[in-house]
Chain A
């Protein structure tokens, strides 16, 4: 070689420039086209956006009627909500003087503004719904069981955060609907007073008032409440949600992917990896569940690339399309400018709280704090109280489970309908004994009766069958059906003054 260093450097430079596009691409992906099994694995493992997926995905996990894609839809809705939310945030002003005008102007002068708001609104409602359905799916397929208990806990936290996001966002349009829904909703935070008042200790210890003032930044909903809700809605809760969602999805993979029926398991347990797996994945030995192998395809599985990703992309586009259609057809509600002097009648919270509002109409503390608290605690404890490993990945455990669910559902439907009808027709203790102490009503009202019946029924199921799983199915079914019926009653059957009406057409004039 007679080339001088300079010539070599020059030709090398030009040659490198010629190869730039290839080297640049390779510096990003670091593996060949995903046609070989090895590269199809690498594409998942080496891409930060894809690595939360497993390399192989079990056929059972791809069956639409196993998951209904509910978790994915929730996640996609969350992404759409984040994007539309940030866009709206740039136009919105969290001020009692300007907020309402800005919301109005979304439809009057901002191109695509109304659509953006509609998508954000309906997306939020849809997300609450899909999150609840996702929870039901995970429960009924026994997917909360070991080793996925903690992910169920994370899911509970996410449910609370989702409701919190939706609730805080509800105030921001600053119209009558928002103002009075949040008035009612935030009063629930103060309902501990019902008990402290009854015990005559409010003047020494007032957790209800404290909670409410902490939330509202005042004794009434005003500028400070709006600012607090706004900050919670756009910064605090989304940050928490993004963190929790990341961990939640990451745990799905780390806990061994989606649950599936046990009898189809044929792959080896951890620690029996074949030679040939590269050292990069040695850490997998530390992770519970099945080991990740990249060279061969375990039985009953497929490479995640490209099938899983195609399904995800298609599902995302479908969710997007449906949301646009709904948003084109229905405008998000906007009533009059908030006016603290003129209460809405009925003042209703967002729909997912109307079940609670029905309970609150019996007793603020029991319906607003005690029962939701017990429900959340019960849901949280399910995976730790029911440790049976049978029936994972099967809807409702087995035939007994399905029958248990059916019986519980029917019993709850009949029971709650009778109880609510009784209350509507005959009233409750206060109507019969006007001087009755509040504590008695707090402790003994339709809401607490329902909870007590739920507890007795599920305890009896556990006792009768000796199966904690059946007890859990019974309890969860009763909870779901109860939630659904009370929400229905609160949404459709309650009119002005929270009186009972068969339909809104029967409401007195002027409403």
Chain B
């Protein structure tokens, strides 16, 4: 008799526990967050077709599977509004990504964690932001993100990352490789710095910011941090030490796949806006059609202007600024004069989404400067 009751009880205990398991597994925060995003986005969306899409939105885990980087980032499971400009005023996690960084770093290709750190696989806030035991790459501070830029942008100064650029310059100027090795170059007097940026792996739950401050202090006064240090005191300012730390943290052992390496920017010394504009002209390959010095003349059988791509010297006469911006942004579509003629380049491509607004202004400055008889400084303020 006893074993029968025991059998019945234990069987139903298992049944009950398995139900508990099922309920516990379904209870996740991202489901609620996605529904909240749906509500908020619908409230802001007026376009009919976009509303349809939002209403049909599936509640499911979203991820960027980044084969080349060996990462899977699920941040968009909660940060659904990243690429929705209408969510710019919404609170986190629904808000739009600030700046135009995603223009060149589409999350579909880059994911989020290469810049921001954190734990891409995670599907709950604590684990994802990485402030949990045994995860040593929590969400980065803005300064740490700047350092992360340097992991890929290695060779050239990066506009907007001034501390990184300054740090890289300082690193060369004060002669760090006289004692330290970096990437196989330098002496062996001090420790190898090739993978300093990976050092936030401390084997415990400590997070990177403490090491960060330590590094700044150590650069300012080496002996204060390490009494036996033989490192010279360089008399750096705090800003300089910070910049140098940013650069040092950009040194990691991570291998950047070649398709992720930034293409080389044109090596043009820039001091004026016009020169900067010319750099934009070269950087985006305008010369491919319009000639190295915008003199035009390249063959384009089907274009209207006599089988040649137009020169740009007369731009200032033909367009005022808004019209020029529109033309560059939207491109120009022309019908083929001869239907049996060669395939594109037929048209002026649309550059919106490629050339950002700031660069566009510079480019236009350059183009206006090409007009033979104008005063160049007109547009400089």
Contact = CB atoms under 8 A, between A and B. Distances in A.
Are chains A and B touching directly in their complex (CB below 8 angstroms)?
yes
B21 A115 contact: yes
Contact of A328 (B7, B24, B206): B24
Given A314-B7, A335-B134, A336-B203, A321 B13 contact: yes
A321 B203 contact: no
B3 A314 contact: yes
10 contacts: A101-B121, A105-B121, A108-B121, A111-B25, A314-B7, A321-B13, A321-B17, A325-B17, A335-B134, A510-B202
A511 B21 contact: no
Contacts of B228: none
Nearest to A344: B203
A310 B9 CA distance: 12
B18 interface: yes
Interface of A: 97, 101, 104-105, 108-109, 111-112, 115, 175-176, 307, 310-311, 313-315, 317-318, 320-321, 324-325, 328, 334-336, 339, 342, 344-345, 510-511
Contacts of B70: 97
B135 A324 contact: no
Contacts of A112: 21, 25
A339 B124 CA distance: 25
B109 interface: no
B233 interface: no
A325 B134 CA distance: 25
B271 interface: no
B72 interface: yes
B134 A336 contact: yes
Given A310-B4, A314-B7, A336-B135, A108 B17 contact: no
A310 B136 CA distance: 51
Given A109-B61, A314-B3, A314-B10, A101 B72 contact: yes
A103 to B, nearest CB: 10
Interface string B1-25: 0011011001101100110110011
Nearest to B5: A314
Chain A interface, >50% SS class: helix
A109 B10 contact: no
Nearest to B8: A314
Nearest to B119: A104
Contacts of A315: 10
Nearest to B253: A341
Contact of B201 (A101, A175, A336, A510): A336
Given A328-B17, A328-B20, A511 B204 contact: yes
Q: How large is the interface on B (under 10, 10 to 19, 20 to 34, 35 or more residues)?
A: 20 to 34
Interface centre among B21, B61, B202, B206 (most CB of A within 10 A): B21
Nearest to A100: B121
A101 B66 CA distance: 14
Interface centre among B3, B4, B61, B136 (most CB of A within 10 A): B3
Contacts of B206: 510
Given A317-B11, A321-B14, A510-B206, A108 B24 contact: no
Contacts of B20: 328
B182 interface: no
B123 interface: yes
A504 to B, nearest CB: 13
A336 B204 CA distance: 9
Nearest to A510: B204
A451 B74 CA distance: 56
Interface in B114-148: 119, 121-124, 127, 134-136
A175 B135 CA distance: 11
B14 A311 contact: no
Nearest to A320: B14
A207 to B, nearest CB: 34
The 8 A-B pairs with the shortest beta carbon distances in the complex, nearest first, are A317-B10, A314-B7, A321-B13, A314-B6, A324-B17, A318-B10, A310-B3, A335-B134
Given A317-B11, A324-B18, A342-B201, A311 B121 contact: no
Contacts of B18: 324
Contacts of B10: 314-315, 317-318, 320-321
A440 to B, nearest CB: 36
B201 A109 contact: no
Contacts of B3: 307, 310-311, 314
Interface of B: 3-4, 6-7, 10-11, 13-14, 17-18, 20-21, 24-25, 61, 70, 72, 74, 119, 121-124, 127, 134-136, 201-204, 206
A176 B14 contact: no
B134 A334 contact: yes
A342 B203 contact: yes
Contacts of A105: 121
B328 to A, nearest CB: 44
A192 B70 CA distance: 40
Contacts of A108: 74, 121-124, 127
Contacts of B201: 336, 339, 342
Contacts of B74: 108-109
Contact of B121 (A104, A342, A344, A510): A104
Contacts of B4: 310
Contacts of B17: 321, 324-325, 328
Given A320-B10, A334-B134, A336-B203, 11 more contacts: A104-B121, A176-B134, A176-B203, A317-B13, A318-B13, A321-B10, A321-B14, A321-B17, A328-B24, A336-B134, A342-B201
Nearest to A311: B3
A91 to B, nearest CB: 14
Nearest to A113: B25
B24 A317 contact: no
Contacts of B202: 510
B11 to A, nearest CB: 5
B226 to A, nearest CB: 16
B18 to A, nearest CB: 7
A197 to B, nearest CB: 30
A374 B136 CA distance: 44
A510 B210 CA distance: 13
Nearest to A335: B134
Contacts of B136: 336
Contacts of A109: 61, 74, 121, 123
B7 A324 contact: no
B7 A317 contact: yes
Interface centre among A104, A109, A328, A344 (most CB of B within 10 A): A109
B330 to A, nearest CB: 42
Contact of B14 (A307, A317, A342): A317
Nearest to A317: B10
Contacts of A342: 201, 203
Nearest to B4: A310
A315 B124 CA distance: 37
B135 A328 contact: no
Contacts of B7: 310, 313-314, 317
Contacts of A97: 70
Contacts of A334: 134
Contacts of A325: 17
Contacts of B119: 104
Contacts of B13: 317-318, 321
A380 B27 CA distance: 52
Nearest to B135: A336
A97 B67 CA distance: 12
Nearest to B24: A328
B126 to A, nearest CB: 12
A265 to B, nearest CB: 26
Contacts of A175: 134
A311 B61 CA distance: 44
B67 to A, nearest CB: 12
A123 to B, nearest CB: 15
A245 B135 CA distance: 41
A310 B204 CA distance: 49
A345 B204 CA distance: 10
